[in-house]
Amino acid sequence: MRPRKIKLVVKLAGFKMPLAEAKIVKYADVLEPKTELLCPKCHAKPKWSGRYECECGATYTHWSQLKRVLPNGKEIVKPKLIQGEDVEAEVYVMDKAKFSQYADATLTEYGLTVDDANSANNLKKLIIALDRLNKVIILHFLDTYEERVAVLTLSLSDRIILKELIPLNLADIRETLKVDLSNVTDKDIAEAEALIKQLPEATEDLLYVHDYRIQGLEEVPKVSPKVIELEQILSKMKKENAIV
């Protein structure tokens, strides 16, 4: 998706009624310092010609073999922060009202799975705090070379997901829309309900595309939700414990 103007419309009795007009903008980018890739042997800037070739005669097949330096000549190093594959994330909570003061631009989103009843039960409690207590669940952990900040949240289809945030000191934030729903009136809700009643019902076909990206596919695959309900895990574990 690229930045452009988008008009929201609804088709009624064969006619299109405009609802809103907005601009699609990228929420945020990750700030990156200006750097140069230099030859680690003679510290000169190599030329690319199918590979990196340096005036000292050294050649490199990949940029990772070069030395990355700041404009002042200081080398950027990536010390390893963890050993092994598993990571340990510390859990924090923040009032949603306070969290809304910050930019929560995301890098990526990931799903979660669990294998034990205790994990499922505690995850459910965290999600209840998110949904019913207006709390934001924040995770902070070390990855191989970088610190990660993420929020534990729900997708629109009620899947538990981790949204990795761009850290505030690395975020180049754009101006985008924000809404405050704390002062919504009964009249506002009635008007929203009246508008929603005019919108046509969405069908599954809308979740598919029919553009060039499907060319070469023999058959459009049927997407399976592959969702594990926390309640199913908890119920299964309770039954197994009862048998024991």
Q: Is the pLDDT of residue 139 over 90?
A: yes
* Domain stop point among 14, 45, 69: 69
User: Does one domain contain both 96 and 53?
Assistant: no
Q: Is the pLDDT of residue 243 over 70?
A: no
User: Does one domain contain both 49 and 107?
Assistant: no
Asked if 198 and 12 touch (Cβ cutoff 8 Å), the reply is: yes
User: Does one domain contain both 130 and 209?
Assistant: yes
More confident residue, 158 or 236: 158
Q: Is the pLDDT of residue 15 over 90?
A: no
Q: Is residue 27 part of a domain?
A: no
Q: Is residue 119 part of a domain?
A: yes
Helix ranges (DSSP H) in the chain: 96-99, 117-132, 186-198, 230-243
| Helices and strands of the chain, counted as H and E runs | 4, 14
pLDDT of residue 152: 92
pLDDT of residue 222: 57
Q: Is the pLDDT of residue 86 over 60?
A: yes
Q: Is the pLDDT of residue 151 over 70?
A: yes
More confident residue, 138 or 5: 138
Q: Is residue 135 part of a domain?
A: yes
pLDDT of residue 219: 61
pLDDT of residue 129: 94
Looking at every residue in the chain, the average pLDDT score rounds to: 86
User: Does one domain contain both 54 and 97?
Assistant: no
User: Does one domain contain both 60 and 87?
Assistant: no
pLDDT of residue 53: 95
For 125-158, give one letter per residue: b (16+ CB within 10 A) or e. Answer: ebbeebeeeebbbbbeeeeeeeebbbbbbeeeee
Q: Is residue 30 part of a domain?
A: no
Share of the chain above pLDDT 70, in %: 93
Start-to-end C-alpha separation, the chain? 53
The one-character DSSP state at 196 is H
Domain count, the chain: 2
Q: Is residue 122 part of a domain?
A: yes
Residue 85, domain extent: 80-174+201-244
User: Does one domain contain both 85 and 113?
Assistant: yes
Q: Taking the model in full, what pTM does it have?
A: 0.78
Structure tokens at 25: 């903008």
Q: Is the pLDDT of residue 71 over 80?
A: yes
Residue 239: which H helix or E strand, with range? helix 230-243
Q: Is residue 47 part of a domain?
A: yes
Q: Is residue 181 part of a domain?
A: no
Q: Is residue 9 part of a domain?
A: no
d(CA 117, CA 239): 11
User: Does one domain contain both 208 and 159?
Assistant: yes
Angle, nearest 10°, between helix axes 230-243 and 117-132? 140
Residue 54: count other Cβ atoms within 10 Å of its Cβ.
19
Asked if 3 and 23 touch (Cβ cutoff 8 Å), the reply is: yes
